[in-house]
A and B are shown apart, each in its own frame.
Chain A
Amino acid sequence: AQSVAQPEDQVNVAEGNPLTVKCTYSVSGNPYLFWYVQYPNRGLQFLLKYITGDNLVKGSYGFEAEFNKSQTSFHLKKPSALVSDSALYFCAVRDIEGTYKYIFGTGTRLKVLA
């Protein structure tokens, strides 16, 4: 069965410092991986995805993610954190069985401190 894991419930980082939000996955076959962000009482917003190609994927709001097949990881990164980046971040893998179903990680709350 496919799954994603986000090992950190919360990540704290100082404004201006680089941030990393971790995600590891377990899939059979090629992984189709996504990152979403959720602000309080809001739906999820798409940040970026990895389907194939370059291992470093660039997305919205200056975020990027690095796909590492040997470590089965897809960590989200940003070179310089902003206070406004504080939110809940979800990693997801797409079901390969012909549907659009996502399997979400448990989420990581990012807190950027001024």
Chain B
Amino acid sequence: GAVVSQHPSRVICKSGTSVKIECRSLDFQATTMFWYRQFPKQSLMLMATSNEGSKATYEQGVEKDKFLINHASLTLSTLTVTSAHPEDSSFYICSAPTSGSPSSYNEQFFGPGTRLTVL
């Protein structure tokens, strides 16, 4: 199947700093990528839809100035957590469908996740 990578896999930072997480589609192009947040023992919460060459679409309640998303190429989307605080500590996961067609019913492929710990 298609491969999605994330970097870094784990990051620890001080409160007030910014952290960038990369999501790459390794063997396919992704015009759309998704960013999720997962709390311990809980389901995935969709944060935003990342669109190549245009602005991301954020879900209700997600601060767009806090979680900056850039989808500059067909294989890379980045999520930057700005001025991170301990409550931002979480597991962040990205995903991408393999087809560029909105009508495709292909499954999504998920990255391995990034565990962010803010001290």
What is the interface of chain A, defined by CB distance below 8 A to chain B? 32, 34, 36, 41-46, 49, 51, 90, 94, 98-102, 104-107
Q: How far is the CB of B90 from chain A (nearest CB, A)?
A: 13
Q: Is the interface of B mostly helix, strand, loop or mixed?
A: strand
The one of B4, B95, B108, B113 that contacts A41, using a Cβ cutoff of 8 Å: B113
CA A34 – CA B106 in complex, angstroms?
Answer: 10
CA A107 – CA B108 in complex, angstroms?
Answer: 17
On chain B, the number of residues with a Cβ less than 8 Å from chain A's Cβ atoms is 25
The one of B1, B43, B91, B102 that contacts A105, using a Cβ cutoff of 8 Å: B43
CA A104 – CA B95 in complex, angstroms?
Answer: 13
The one of B1, B49, B93, B107 that contacts A43, using a Cβ cutoff of 8 Å: B93
Knowing A100-B34, A100-B108, say if A43 contacts B113 (CB, 8 Å): yes
Contact A49 B95 (CB under 8 A): no
Knowing A99-B49, A104-B44, say if A46 contacts B1 (CB, 8 Å): yes
Q: Is the interface of A mostly helix, strand, loop or mixed?
A: loop
Q: Which residue of A lies closest to B93 (CB)?
A: A43
Q: Which residues of A contact B107 (CB under 8 A)?
A: 34, 46, 49
Q: Which of A34, A36, A44, A45 has the most CB of B within 10 A?
A: A44
Q: Which residues of chain B from 19 to 65 have a CB within 8 Å of any chain A CB?
A: 32, 34, 42-44, 46, 49
Contact B110 A45 (CB under 8 A): yes
Q: Which residue of B lies closest to A9 (CB)?
A: B41
Q: Which residue of B lies closest to A4 (CB)?
A: B43
Contact A104 B108 (CB under 8 A): no
The one of A99, A102, A104 that contacts B102, using a Cβ cutoff of 8 Å: A99
Contact B111 A43 (CB under 8 A): yes
